[in-house]
Structure 1
Amino acid sequence: MPGAGDAPVDSSPPTQRRHDRSAWLVLAALAASYRRAASVPSRGSSLKNAPLPAISFNRMADAASPQPVPLTNGLVYVDARMPGFTRVRHGRSFRYRDAKGHWLRDINELSRIRQLAIPPAYTDVWICPLPNGHLQATGIDARGRKQYRYHAEWRLLKDETKFERLELFGRALPRIRARVARDLRAAAKESSPGRAAVLATLVRLLDITFLRVGNDEYANSNQSYGLTTLRNRHVDVRGTSLKLRFRGKSGVLHEAQVDDPRVTRVIRSCQQLPGQELFQFQGLDGEARSVSSSDVNEYLRDAAGDNFTAKDFRTWHGTVQALELTRLACSGEPADRPSHASVPRRFSVR
């Protein structure tokens, strides 16, 4: 396992390994900078010394109401079910009431609310009465979706967590890829690939195509697919190559050609099993068993030795692509130059 200051060693193709290493080093630096930033209040901020307003929540609600919980950097964790401020339309603008129904007149409170920039179209608006609450406001948008406004310091903490997670995922990638390669090699000796081989194939596709893992609910209700919910009709196998073609989230058409003999062999075997679902394996009882996104995440946790999920692959590769595009822009190289940052349509193993 790499030391604290080392980038991970990988057996993936040289170009991918170079970009992954660069991304890992940048993410490690970003995570460190966010850790430093999170330990110091923002300029002009007095959160660390700001006392909680003199609000008695026990008098304002029953004992079952959620109570604020102190967090790091002077923040408190709040729940939108706790008593808060409400917004009332007043002509072409708005006025605000506190939990007791009194109009808000405090200049500082009104200024804080204005700075939240809650869209006028939002309904059922709840505003946190605490200036250091991690969640500052909620509302329902025009499409009926609940939206959230978070404290700037909370977003900083969340960004720190995000970069730390990506840094750790970068460290775990060599272990994941080694496990996948081992299971795919073992599958070549089996008459019918088992559960491990099918899951290794899915993780391999996650890693090289950047496609979503899939969700049964979306497949059944919206006919939008991801890797685990693909049907036999979504893949065309020819020789040692295969082509995926399906509609995913929001009806977006996805097409990808994969040149990987081991992956192709497993998928061809899956197609021989009864049923329309693509990714299946034959159980000990001879019955075909499908796999789900939960199975993929369990495989990843076991391979990585940490609590990573399929979504981390898309986050990782999206970050690598963004960093590579930034590098190309800064170096003056053509943006359309073939690179790991360009979303590929063909994926090969060399």
Structure 2
Amino acid sequence: MQDILRKICKLQPMYSSTNTPEMQERGYLIRSKLAEELRVRLPSLQQAFDSIFDDLAVEGSDGIGRKTEAPWVRLFSKAMSPNPREGFYLVIHFAADGSTVFLTVGCGSTIWRGGDLRAVSDDELKARTSWARFVVQQRWKTLSPFEDEIVLGAKAPLPRTFEKATAFAKRIPASDLPNADLDQLLFSAAERLNEIYLAQREQRDVSPGDQDAASVVAIAKPLKARSGKQGFGLTAKERQAVDRQAMFMAMQYLKGLGYNCKDTSATQSFDVLATKADEEMMVEVKGTTSDLCNSVLMTKNEVDLHREHKGKTGLLIVSRIKLFRDSDTPSASDGEVEALLYWDIDDWVSEPMAFQVSRKFA
């Protein structure tokens, strides 16, 4: 593999957007030789992954039509990353001047929108990559040995987007390739990708509002939901365990502030009535296993209540709840409380997810 990587590095300074002899050779090395080197290693790399990720695959690209400054080869789970625009994957990048190989884990950096392939926003890429680093650091307490900055040095916009889509990287100068332990680095990167995949199975990268929205789409458009990439979601019992833990954490938090708490979730359009002296606050509680909490799903009655009683309501989001599935009765523990007391719902963006459309009767 080292020889193939060095040959690609030597061809990088000869870049042309047209299919010159040098670019033909580079394309063959990327799409055939290097990709095959990774495929040969799939049985050993599979050991870094949970058995549920038994659909590992490899693909390489040096451009569609016109050649790209930044060719790549990626290793991925077909279910978790059905195409380069979606999900996370292990990917090998090359500096434009051929000086460096980068062994990385990154995410899709483009999406189809309005019939065009477009880059996602920098803020969204930053959120995705930051979350992936958080997952890895939780498990290993460090990003080592993937602590290097990726700089491809390309002129075109898309390679610069690749840089922003990289969660973490190992920089290997071309001169160091003969002595680099590539198999060990590949295995370490695969272990970290597996950890990210496992976190995605728990939907830790999906805001609770988006999780619930996916369920609504699955009901309203079941064929569309099946055709796309599936989140693994929670069963009804698992959801109940998470909700119970969220209520427990929320009420403990409010009691710590001196409130008396009454569970009203079964009878009202809010979950907790919190009272203290002459103050009365209606609190909505949302619990999630996710690390990201930028949206929640609310019913029309809940939205109306927060608007009608603005200044007397609150939203408590309990995130990062740990879910245990080891028995027939799931359980949950821990969680981090974000308290938005005296919450102004109009500071957030409210979007209708679905409508109940009924016949008119005379």
| TM-score where L is the length of structure 1 | 0.23
Q: Taking CA–CA contacts closer than 8 Å with sequence separation of 6 or more, which of the two structures ends up with the larger relative contact order?
A: 1
The structure in which a higher percent of residues are helix is 1
